[in-house]
Structure formats: structure tokens, C-alpha cells
Structure 1
Amino acid sequence: MSRPKVVVARNLGPDVMPLFNRSDLDVVAWHSETEACGRKWLLENIVGASGVLVMLADKVAGPKLRIVSTMSVGYEHVDLQQLTDRGVRLGYTPDVLTDAVADLSIMLALMAGRNSRETMSVWPSYPWSPFAFCGPQLSANWLHPTRTAGFIGFGRIAQATLARLVPFGFTHCLYTGNPASAPTPERDATLARTLGVESVRRVALAELARESDVVFVLAPGAPSLRHVVDAAFLRGMKKTAVLVNTARGTLVDSDALALALREGWLWGAGIDVVEGEPHVGADHPLVKEPRCVVLPHIGSATTETRLGMATMAAKNLISGVLGDTMPAELSITR
């Protein structure tokens, strides 16, 4: 029998590519790590392939495809209905990036609160004054002895972010959940005891906006959640509060956030994702807003995390094509 053909749409580096040096696979791999393969190359080489490993920006189809492996935890770029209809299995890379994204979420909260974007352009001189460039302190302090974190979405990354906030003196956690899911008061109470905070509570969006000192957007990018952070939500936030989005750009209305920052509905924002990325230029309303720290979707960009993601994506592809259990396969309801 001929060896199954697999296509790898990006060079995954010297630590991962040797995994494909196998006698039981016919591997076609793009040569560059930094340059995308291009749609023409991908479509030409996907012909006859049983499996493909793709990045977030790649969209593919092939009549013989049985396995799609994506080097991402998100799968919005994948047509799940097509996969379901054709019985194609999907591998992805959850959990590996939890710590990296939680770390970045804290970093953005600190940067947004302390006006880092505004202050980076003041040298070589500016008139010092006692309260110049002051912003709200993330940690509990004599003026604000209790701190409340709000989470839109409360999965692994959100809970890891909450754990990182405890040493800053955060004592309360509010979160929103999928309306279709049942409340979990016992789990919340257990988590509160484990982390040493006074309360973990599921609440409505309006209460979360009103009571939170920092709001972290960490929900999946489902169509039903598009612009869940809209003008109404932003108007309800504390004027000293900070918004952090390290999930998906579609969850936040960019125009509403830019207006909110200009008019002082909240203090600042730190975002790692922007609606419409990567087509985000200097004229984007949030890029122009000095109270908004904008990063180019680098939440998982640590060496350790990307190596783990690449390794898992490669093993998902190999295992899936050879009929074995994938390390991480998305369960698609047929």
C-alpha cells in the first residue's frame, strides 16, 4: 500500500520537524518558518493528501482529507460543518498556552492601568508634577483595600489569570458563563477556598461591568458573543477600571471602546487581539488611542509554549493519519 500523504503548511523548526522523518508517511512540508506558504502552494499540494497541518490563517479543502491539525487553540478558521459532513477529524492545541496567555493578561492589565502607552513618548523632557501620569494601582492598597476581578468567560485561562491576581490582593471574582450551562456554586466555592479569595460568583454582564476593577475578556470567539463588550457594557464600567482582551477581537466593539476611552467611561484598555486582524494599521481607532495598549496577538508567544503547540500539532497530525488517538482532538457532534 502507498504511504498516506500529509501536508505541513509551515516549517515548525529543528525541534519538531524531525518528527516527520518517518518511513510510513509521505510528507510535503513548506520550507519557511516565518513566511507563509501561500494559498496556491497549499491548494496544489493538498491534492491526494490524507492530512494537513495548518496555521490560523490557512483555509483548505481536499477530497481525500481525513485529518486537519491546527496549531492553535481556536478553530474559528475551520469550517466545522464541512468537517462534520465529511467525517474529517480535527486536532488542536488546548491547555498548552494557558500559562502564557494568563501571564500576558496580567501584563496588559498593569500596562493599561499605569499608562505605559502614553508615557513612552514623553522623553527627553516633560514637566514633572506630583500626579503626572498616575493611574489606578492594580494591587490592593490603603485607598482600595479590596479588589474585584471580572471575567467574561471562565475557563482554564481565566482561572489561571485569577490565581495570578491573588498575590496582588484581589479578594473577589465575578464571571459570566454560557447561559445554556448550569450554575456551579459548589465548584466556585471550592475554587475560592483553594485560591484564598472571599468569593467567586457567576453574575450578569451588567453587574460584572459595574463592580469589576479589571475586566478580562477570555471567552471563545463564538458568533453569538460578537461585540459582547459593547457601548452599553463599557458605559457601565467604573471610570477607574481597565479592560483586557486576550481572547478574540470580535468580542469587543472597537469603535465603542475607542469612544469609551476618549470620553473616560473607563480608565484604559490592554488588547492582544483586534477585530479584523492582521489588517490593523496606524489609522485603526484603538491604535490611535493613547489609553489603549495594543499588541499583535502574541498571547502564546513564549518559546516554551510555541514549541509545545507545534509538537502537539505535529503529533495530532501523525497520530490521526495513522489511525491512532490524537493528543488533543476536538469532539465534533455529527
Structure 2
Amino acid sequence: MATNATGRRKIVVCKDLGATAMLLLTDRPDLEVVRWMEDRRCDRAWLLQNIAGASGVVVCFQDMVINTLSRILTYIRSGPNLRVVSTISVGYEHIDLQVMAEHKIHVGYTPDILTDAVADSTVMLALMASRRTDETSSFVKNNQWPDFNWTPSAFCGPQLSTTPFSPTRTVGFLGFGRIAHAVLRRLAGFGVTHCIYTPRPGAAPQPARDARLQALHGLVSVAPVDLPALARASDVLFVLAPGGAQTLHLVDAAFLRQMKPSGVLVNSGRGAVVDSAALAQALREGWIWGAGLDVLEEEPHVTAMHALVREPRCVVLPHLGSAALETRAEMTRLTARNVLAGVLGEPLPVALDYSTLV
């Protein structure tokens, strides 16, 4: 395995992994670890300056600079040593997979670890959006409660759980992978009766899996449907699809117009799957009841003036689905183990099979 001018393998870390995870790298005398220390996203010029001779790079989803890796490889004219890019995320849209494949650079990422944390926050968003927590908490903070005149309909929203007077509830999933299954497991406790989902284009039907999920969670049915049926039948629609050209604005104005006026949309997947302008119009004109968003297509360039932030029945969170202490700690440790294995020429604990994606 090639080393740099110091005789040690070099790792460039574009995002601080925290003390525990960093020790996996800095405690090794055979490594030179160069860290971006500032409390802002990694600067492109800094990366270009420091990547020469590096065997591994650590990035996060904010570090779009890695999309210029082809330029970076050209920049290292003495022959690049780069063997691995390790990202602190389950998503990999910020990495140029074509360049990775061409130069046989391994990609490490952190799926599975964050499944439960994201599922927790997804259910939380469904409850927050349906029960209008942004509106009502602001009501208290703005000192409006003392003068409030209560009525039976005050602050009401659609109930997530089933009741004797509302005995059925259908949840829909746009994207039905491991996080969706974890969300469904949690929703079973609310008495959800029906689950519908739209499979990936070209995906084979999985009736045995669906029957197993139905029996496991005590549901009336688990079934695949097309997009129009998903929109029409979902009481709560969970968007958990991956990003990319195939899913861009799948939830658009035409889709939203078909949803129930009492419907709630939750997006914990990728922001660009939902057309922000169309969703703002849907909320403003009452096509749907409310929305809970952990991701937006414009993030992180989202201010208080964003149309969705200004909608009272839209809860917007700053992409914090995995922000549980235990989950983030394990994500950083896996990121460090991935980059370490890559520079040592060992199999990565969790590697992306990008050969099937490019």
C-alpha cells in the first residue's frame, strides 16, 4: 500500500467525528490524519490543498466538494493514492460514483445503524403534523393562552390511532425499505389496519414478505399499489424513497390533489422527492391537512421566509432523523472503521456496491 512523503498513510477528515471515533485514527502511528477543524462545512480549497497523497477521505452529506473528485485526482499528478471515501451518512448523492468506479475507489457509508432513530423521528413528525404542535406551541410561547376561548373544535387534527368510532386507518409508503418497515412496526401499536406502498419500478412482487408483515403486525392488509392509489387511500403518507432523477418530484401537484383533505404527508427520505412549491400550495389551499418534513429539496438553504416554513400546518425540522446520541456515535465509529479498513487494504465493514449504481 502506497504511503505519502512522511512514510505514513494519510487520511483527510472533512468533518470532525468526535473524540471517540477520531481516536481510532489518531492513535495509530502509521497514519497521518489531517482534520478540518473549523465549525463550518469543509472548504473546497482546503481539501484540494490537503488531499495530495491521501489514501482516504472522510466526508458527510454536506460536503458536495467530493463531486469534483475527478478534478482532485487530476490535481495529484504524481499518481493518486486515494483508495477510499467514507461518508457519515446512509445517502451517497454527494459522491460521484462514476469517478469512484473508474478509479476503483471504495465507498464506505452507514446504513442500518440509523434505521430505528429515523423511524422514531418519522412517527414523531406524523404526530406533530396531525396534532398541529407548531401552531399550538407557538400559541403558548406568544402568550395567547390566557385569553383563549376554548371550543370543541379548537386545535383539533386527525387522530393517528384507530378508535371504536374510527376503526380503520391506512398508512402509505413511497419507498418500502428497512426504515419503512421500522415505521410500520411502530405504527402497529396505534392500531393501524391497512398498509399500502408503491414499489420501485421493475421490482418483483413480494407477496410472501407482505403476508409476513401483515401477520406480524396484526394488519388487515399489506399491499402494493400504484402512485394514484397511494395518494387517494393514504391517511398518512410516508415518503422514504431515495433521491435521484427517478424520484424527482414524484410527489407533485397532481399527486397532492388526489390526497384526502384530512391526509398528512411526512417526508423523512429525500427532499427532492416532494415538490416544495406544490406542497406549499396544497397546504395553503387545503388539499391536504398537514405535513411533517425532516428534509426539503432546498436544504440547507431554508430560512424563515421559505414557503413551507411559513405554512402553519407544516412542521419543518433540519434533517435530524438520525440525531440520537447512540446512533450518531455509532455512525461516526463506523465511518472511522470504514476509512481505516480502506487505507489498510482490508474489506470495509460496510461498503457501497456502486458498480450496480453507475
When the two structures are superposed, what TM-score results if normalisation uses the length of structure 2? 0.90
Matching residue of 1:136: 158
Is residue 51 of structure 1 aligned with residue 52 of structure 2?
no
Matched residues in 1 for 2:36 and 2:276: separation?
35
Q: Does 1:289 align with 2:311?
A: yes
Aligned match of 1:202 = 224
* Deviation, structure 1 residue 97: 0.5
Distance in 1, matches of 2:151 and 2:218, equals 39
Cα RMSD over matched residues?
1.3
Structure 2: distance between partners of 1:99 and 1:277: 23
Is 1:79 the counterpart of 2:96 in the alignment?
yes
Q: Deviations over 1:228-278 (max 9, x none)?
A: 101111111111110000111100001111111111111100000011110
Deviations 1:305-331 (A, max 9, x none): 111110111000000111111111000
Report the 3-state secondary structure (helix = DSSP H, G, I; strand = E; otherwise coil) of the residue aligned with 2:223.
strand
Question: Is 1:278 matched up with 2:300?
Answer: yes
- Count of residue correspondences: 333
Amino acid in the other structure paired with 2:204: A
> Quick one: distance in 1 between partners of 2:16 and 2:303?
28
Distance 1:246 1:313 in 2: 22
Question: Partner residue of 1:114?
Answer: 131
Note the 1:150-229 alignment, pairs <5 A: 150-229=172-251
- Unaligned regions of 5+ residues in structure 2, if any? 74-79
CA distance in 1, matches of 2:43, 2:325: 25
TM-score if structure 1 supplies the norm length?
0.97
Larger deviation, residues 252-261 vs 5-14: 5-14
Secondary structure (helix, strand or coil) at the match of 1:16 reads helix
Q: Which has the higher helix share?
A: 2
1:214 positional shift: 0.4
Give ranges in structure 1 of 5+ residues lacking alignment.
Answer: none
Alignment partner for residue 309 of structure 1, among 331, 340, 343?
A: 331
The alpha-carbon deviation at position 37 of structure 1 amounts to 3.3
Cα drift, residue 281 of structure 1? 1.2
- Rounded to whole Å, the distance in 2 between the matches of 1:319 and 1:171 is 45
Q: Which residue in the other structure is 1:23 paired with? A: 29
**CA deviation digits over 1:20-41, x for unaligned, max 9?**
1112222112235x43332222
| % identical aligned pairs | 57
What is the DSSP-based 3-state SS (H/G/I as helix, E as strand, rest coil) of the residue aligned with 1:50? strand
